[in-house]
Structures are given as structure tokens and as C-alpha cells.
Structure 1
Amino acid sequence: MPQSTIGGAQYLSKGLSLIWQPGVRAFVFIPLLINLVLLSGATFYAISNLSDWYEGLKNSEYSIVQWSVENMGWLLWPLIVISVLGVVIFFFAFIANWIAAPFNGLLSEAVERHLAGGSLNQQPTSMKSLVADIPRLLAREWRKLTYYLPRALGCLLLFVTPLAIIAPIIWFLFNSWMAAIQYIDYPMDNHKVPFRNMLDMIKQRRSGPFSFGAVVMLLTMIPVVNIFVMPVAVAGATNLWFDHYRE
């Protein structure tokens, strides 16, 4: 079934509804707490350093960048705000996902069980099984990191080239795709789908995951709202997986 662009917003809305369901909401607290601590700090750090980074662009060694800041500052300032928030907050969000990975897996499992309406044969993961599975979960997060870092570095290098003007847009698009990978991977990993297979699956139906990731990125860059993004995104991505990739 093809996924439309509007699907991203729909699944975030579904995720918000799902985290309050009986059998699901008990798994929301720890991811929410981790997000609260890390993203609050990230937002404060990013906002407090915006002016310094803007001054750095004014003093860039590239004349085209200096000219753009001096003559198109009204246009560049919103892009700079978006890019700075995107870089800093997504970095902290990535760390939060590392720390919360075992708990996000449990949340995804609880959402799947709710969506299956009792027809799921899989038993809830015990605490003993969760602890034993932590090395594998961290290895999976490391695999995502090795996929992310070289591509992120390529995007970030654009900020110190004459292409710095369009770098924020490319950075946002890339991280939208990465957000889709990050959250859809939780239900995939619960079912032991290899990382490469997961990538191939979501690439076949790219528009739905990409629009989902774009909405996640937009919400992640909004202070206060971003605190609640992680559990909502895990639930929404699990619902998206359940509807379109479960087979």
C-alpha cells in the first residue's frame, strides 16, 4: 500500500493517542525523563550560542558567505536558527536514543501488543531478558551511528563551503530521513530484522517514512514540545510499521 506524504503527521497523531493507552503508558515514563534531561540542556545550549555562531558567519573566510549574511540576513537568520537547533538538538536526541534504546524497545513492543488486540503470541520482555539483550541493542545503535556519522559529516562540511546557504536545508532533509530510520528501527529490531534489510524495506516506500521523519524533526526543534517527541515518535513509528511493514 503506498504511503502518502500526509502519513507522517497522521502517525505522529496516532502515536500521541497510543502512549495514553492502558498497557502502553507505563512504558512511557523513562524515555520521557531521558528526553527531558538531555533535550532541555540541548535547547538551552543552542539558543545561548546562536548569536556567536551568527557572528562567525559574518567573519567567514568566504566572501560569498559574508556577502550573503550582510545582504540577506533577513532570510538567513531563520535558516541559521533551524540549522543550529537541528544540529545541536538532533545530536543530543541521538544520545538520548542510545540511552533509552532498551526502554524504547519495550515501549514499541507494548504498542504492538495493543495494536494486535491480544492476537500477538509474543510474551512481554522480562527485566532479565532486557538486561541480557542490552549488548545487542547497543550494537544495533552503534550500527545506526556508523551509518549516520559519515553522511552527517558530509552534510556539516557544507556549512564551511560556499554552499553554506543551502546547507541548512540539506541538513534538515538528511536528518528527517535519519529520524525515520531511528524510530522505525525499534519495531524492526524487536523482530530481529537485520539493519540492512530494514533500510531496504523503508527505501521501497520512501515517502511515508520520510514525511514521518520530517514531522519528527520539526517537532524536535521546538523547545518544550521536543521533550515529548521520543515516546510519541516510537509509538507512531510502531503503528506505521504495523500497518505497512509487518509482513
Structure 2
Amino acid sequence: MPKGKTKTAMNGVDYFRQGWHLAMLPGIRRYVIAPLLVNVLLMGSAFIWLFKRLNVWIPELLGHIPHWLQWLNYLLWPLAVLSLLLFFGYFFSTLANWIAAPFCGLLAEQLENKLTGHPLPEIGWAGLIKDLPRIMWREWLKLKYYLPRALLLLLVHFIPGIGQTLAPLLWFIFGAWMMAIQYCDYPFDNHRVPFVTMRQALATHRSAHLQFGGLVSVFTLIPGVNLVIMPVAVCGATAMWVDQYRGLSATLAAQGQRDVKSS
């Protein structure tokens, strides 16, 4: 990861807050509509289904607690609910992002144009359709990164005694990191920065990105608010790109090409 100075100290909370304002800017609102509709339809249906299943899954999950720890059920029940909400919140969010990825990339592009006054090359709808295979491949790379780590965290649930207590915390931290990767990747990808290089860049400011991703994760769990969080997160992540990484985009892309050739 190349080193470079940033314009301001990174604060994930500030960028998350900016996202709400930026999503409502004139000229940007029309690019918010498509990812918003995808999120409303998918996340709304998914969470209705999930809440209907909780009464079945929670008793099954708590059934793995040793008999001598049954007295902790009143504490472990909300932790089990939180774990499932975090897991499925990211799962359904990822699915929504697969469907909305082209529109999220377009939103990030148009917002960057507005924030910088230096438009990226216009690709148009024909170019967007032509670019779909590359966009879907990028989403696959995120899922490939996520799945093995998520499976390991699922196994933590079955560690007697501590698994049900430790797993929600680990899920939240991991979910925050994945949310940061998911949404920060759109402006990085618009500049053809490879996925591995993007992750390395985020890792240099991990605490700020965990702040940002943690807030996205929390708001993803709030009924109603979770329906609008996708375009807000894209806008906040794009503002972060413009302030912190845009000046390094050429260097990051070149570093990524070297990483690809050496791998």
C-alpha cells in the first residue's frame, strides 16, 4: 500500500453523517432511486421473513448450550437474536448489493463528479450493460472474501460456554469491516483499483472504516431505516474516497497491477 498524506483526519462517523446529506443533493437524487428500490423490495421482504423464523431458530440455537448453563438463557437469548440479525443483515445486504451493484457504481461516479467538478468518463447505460460481467466479478470477489470467514464465525457459536457470548461481538466487528469493504469498493472500482489493493488501503485506516461500517451495520438492523441505508452508505463512502484516496488513485491502480502480476 503506497503512503500519502490525506486532506483531513479520517472519521467514519463524519462520513456516515455526510452520506445522508449527499444522497439528497440536486442532481444526485435520481441516481439514488434505483438502489433504493432494490433495497426496499429485497430487504423489506427478507426481514419480514426473518422475524417470522426467529421463534424457530433461536430455541434451536440455544439448545446447544450445556445443561449447567441453562440459567443464562435470559442473557444469551438477546445475544443469539443479535447474532442472527447481524448475519442475515449482511447476507441480505450483500444480495441486494449484487443486484444493485451497477446502480451503486453509477451513483458513486456521479457523486464524485459533483464533489470534485472533474467528471469521470461517461459510460452511459450501454457502457454500464457492457461492464456488467466485470462488476459481477467484483461482487464475487467480495463474497469469496466473506464466506470462509463467516463460516468460521458460525462455528464459534458452537463453542460450549463462551461461543454464544463471544460470537455476537465478533460478528459485529466482522460485519462492520465487510460493510466498509462493500460500500467503499464502489468508488475504488470506478477507478479500476484492484480488490486486494483496495482492502490494503482500507486497512491503513482500519478504525475509521470500522466506525463507518459499524454505523451502516447498526442502521441495517433498524426496521424502516434499513430500507434506505444502501444509497446513504454509497454516498458516505464516496465522500471518503474523494477526501482520502482520490489523490492516490493512479498510484493505487499501479500498485494493484504490480500485485496482480506478482501473484
Return 88-97 or 7-16, whichever deviates more. 7-16
Secondary structure, counterpart of 2:121 in structure 1? coil
* 1:211-236 Cα shifts (integer Å, max 9, x gaps): 10000000001111100110000000
* Alignment-mate amino acid for residue 103 of structure 2: F
1:210 aligns with 2:210: yes
Q: CA deviation at 1:67?
A: 4.1
TM-score normalised by L of structure 1: 0.92
Aligned counterparts of 1:218 and 1:3: Cα–Cα separation in 2: 23
Q: CA deviation at 1:121?
A: 4.0
What is residue 43 of structure 2 aligned with on the other side?
A: 39
Runs of 4+ in 1 over 6 A off after TM superposition: none
Q: CA deviation at 1:3?
A: 4.4
What is residue 121 of structure 2 aligned with on the other side?
A: 123
- Note if contact 1:38-1:92 (Cα within 8 Å) is conserved in structure 2: yes
Considering only aligned residues, what root-mean-square deviation do their CA atoms show, in Å? 1.5
What is residue 136 of structure 1 aligned with on the other side?
A: 134
TM-score normalised by L of structure 2: 0.86
Which of 4, 7, 13 is matched with 2:17 structurally?
13
Percent identity over the alignment? 44
Which of 20, 23, 26 is matched with 1:22 structurally?
26
Secondary structure, counterpart of 1:244 in structure 2? helix
Q: 1:128 to 1:71 in 2, by over 3 A?
A: same
Q: 1:212 to 1:3 in 2, by over 3 A?
A: farther
* Alignment-mate amino acid for residue 98 of structure 2: W
Q: 5+ residue gaps in structure 1? A: none
1:154 aligns with 2:158: no
- Note if contact 1:3-1:207 (Cα within 8 Å) is conserved in structure 2: no
Return 71-80 or 196-205, whichever deviates more. 71-80
Q: 1:74 to 1:8 in 2, by over 3 A?
A: farther
Which structure 2 residues correspond to residues 170-185 of structure 1 after superposition, within 5 A? 170-185=170-185
What is residue 234 of structure 1 aligned with on the other side?
A: 234
Return 43-52 or 219-228, whichever deviates more. 43-52
Which structure 2 residues correspond to residues 74-85 of structure 1 after superposition, within 5 A? 74-85=74-85
- Note if contact 1:31-1:103 (Cα within 8 Å) is conserved in structure 2: yes
How many residue pairs are counted as aligned between the two chains? 239
